[in-house]
Amino acid sequence: MHRLIQGLADLCAEAEGREPRPVPRLDNDYALPDQLRVMTRDLATVTDEPVAERARELLRAAHTALFTGL
């Protein structure tokens, strides 16, 4: 999950024209859904279609990894 959030944060930085920074790894993994929510909210405003498509690909891959075989 942290890797997904970092990937989305990197795409957000690219779309905003800034250098990527590491997403902090918090002591409690229960914070990961909040971090994911922040990243997806930020990416929802991206107008750079190639960046938005790469974000969708990351989210699809995460969905497949989490829910394949259920």
- Render pLDDT for 8-45 as a digit per residue (tens, 0 to 9): 999 999 999 999 999 999 999 999 999 999 989 988 88
What are the tokens at 39?
């990243």
- Going by pLDDT thresholds of 50, 70 and 90, the confidence category of residue 70 is low
- Cα–Cα distance measured from residue 2 to residue 59, given in angstroms and rounded to the nearest whole number: 13
Dihedral sign for Cα 38, 1, 56, 11, please. Answer: positive
Q: Is it the case that residue 69 has pLDDT exceeding 80? A: no
CB 5 within 8 A of CB 36: yes
| 50-68 mean pLDDT | 93
Closest CA to 50 of 1, 14, 19: 14
First and final C-alpha spacing in the chain:
18
Total-model pTM: 0.86
Region 58-66 average pLDDT: 93
Query: Which pLDDT score, from 0 to 100, does residue 52 have?
Result: 92
